[in-house]
Amino acid sequence: MDISTSSDDNCEAVDSVPIEFYTDSISPLNKCQTSKARRICIFDLCSKLKNNDKYDIGGTYTDDEPDLWFFFTTTRCLGSKNLLNLFVHHRKSGHFAIGILKSVKIVSCTMEDANKFGRGMLLWKSFVSPCPDMSHHVTTYCLPEIKNQALCIPISIETNPSSVMSKMTKKRTELNKSLSLALNQNKPDFVLESASRTKYSTHKLILAGHSPVLRELVKNTHNNTAFIDISDQDMKLLLEFLGTGNIKDVGKLNLLQVLELAVKFKLDRLLYILQTEMEKQLNIENAIDFAVLSEKYQMEKIQKTIFVFIRKNPSVMDTEGWNNLKDVNLTKKLFKEVHRVK
């Protein structure tokens, strides 16, 4: 069956051939390795669509360590149509990316259909979990009347999606620039005032679209002007990131300053960029300082990297940073991690 990837995709759900023999299928029947996952398999579909409920699908693992767990909810609509809302539960913290069938409407999708999709034919979405055990909405499919029992949805997963994230970051940056260019052709509709009372003209759409903190600020401000207690330098960095999705030469800036900005306005993608930059700059002299930052802002992903680095470089404990370390909880964690049995 020829399957396109437009919103009018049609692919037929039939009782599958023995899916349990496919180790690259996410289902309750096998322990699928995350890097090898190629499809999500849902069984007993007809009976599950009769009720608005939540159902587990199955999980993925790296060796024996769990990574992701997939589940879905169903919503019965008028006209014999159903919505299948797909979610993923991230057992760890950090970034990951999922490539998924980008159809809005699915009539069906068999094992054979799902096998036809390569990585480049999928719609890629990135997710960030600041802490372990967070759930994310992946996508929603509209299902007309289904007569059969099994549905296979093509998928691909990147748990260390550097290449995917690089492409997506570039694409998102281009989109942000295009949006900024389009908005700049219109008059600004909002003003931010810094601590020095300097006024910066901007657009509500840019502020609300990237930061939940600024979204609430815009929502609760009635005169289209708001004060933010940050320096002019921080304001310029903030507006640069909101407008372009990035900060030029961020590695040359004071990472603590930018980090506090990211935390203050809940800019998850900027936090990811900063953690990546911290990994690049990590050395013996700054390892403890970076560890303190990771503890203060609960950045578990970079903290694990720092602990491994310190374990391999015990001379870190001869530095001024170690001698001045006063965080008792962090000290305990360091000793436990650095001296634990490998």
Poorest-pLDDT segment among 77-91, 109-123, 211-225: 109-123
Sign of the dihedral defined by the CA atoms of residues 86, 92, 94, 97, in that order: negative
Which is more confidently placed, 189 or 328?
Answer: 328
How is domain 161-261 classified at the architecture level of CATH? 2-Layer Sandwich (3.30)
Q: Over pLDDT 70: what percentage of the chain?
A: 78
Highest mean pLDDT among 79-93, 124-138, 307-321 belongs to 307-321
- Quote the pLDDT of residue 179: 54
| Confidence (pLDDT) at 1 | 31
If one compares 247 and 14, the residue with the highest pLDDT of the two is: 247
Region label for 313, one of left (φ > 0), alpha (ψ between -120 and 50) or beta (otherwise): beta
Cα separation values, 167 from 80, 137, 288, Å: 39, 21, 32
Residue 81 has a pLDDT of 72
> Per residue, what are the HEC states of the chain?
CCCCCCCCCCCCCCCCCCHHHCCCEEECCECEEHHHCCEEEECCHHHHCCCCCEEEEEEEEECCEEEEEEEEEEEEECCCEEEEEEEEEECCCEEEEEEECCCCECCCCCHHHHHCCCHHHCEEEEEEECCCCEEEEEEEEEECCCCCCCEEEEEEEECCCHHHHHHHHHHHHHHHHHHHHHHHCCCCCEEEECCCCCEEEECHHHHHHHCHHHHHHHHCCCCCEEECCCCHHHHHHHHHHHHHCCCCCHHHCCHHHHHHHHHHCCCHHHHHHHHHHHHHHCCCCCHHHHHHHHHHCCCHHHHHHHHHHHHHCHHHHHCHHHHCCCCHHHHHHHHHHHCCCC
Q: Which region, left, alpha or beta, applies to residue 70 given φ > 0 means left and ψ of -120 to 50 means alpha? A: beta
Are 5 and 118 spatial neighbours (Cβ–Cβ below 8 Å)? Answer: no
Amino acid at 303: Q
For residues 238-260, average pLDDT: 87
- For the chain, how many residues are written? 342
In CATH, the number for domain 282-342 is 1.25.40.420
Gap between the terminal Cα atoms of the chain: 51
Q: What tokens appear for 299 in the block?
A: 């950045």
| Interior/surface letters 306-332, b for 16+ CB within 10 angstroms, e for the rest | bbebbeeeeebbebebbeebeeeebee
**What are the tens digits of pLDDT across the range 28-73?**
888 899 999 999 988 888 778 777 788 999 999 999 899 999 999 8
pLDDT of residue 159: 81
What pLDDT is stored for residue 185 in this prediction? Answer: 53
At 80 the pLDDT is 58
Residue ranges per domain, the chain? Answer: 19-159, 161-261, 282-342
196 band by pLDDT with thresholds 50, 70 and 90: very high
**What does the pLDDT look like over 94-114, one tens digit per residue?**
788 999 988 766 766 667 766
Which is more confident, 152 or 51? Answer: 152
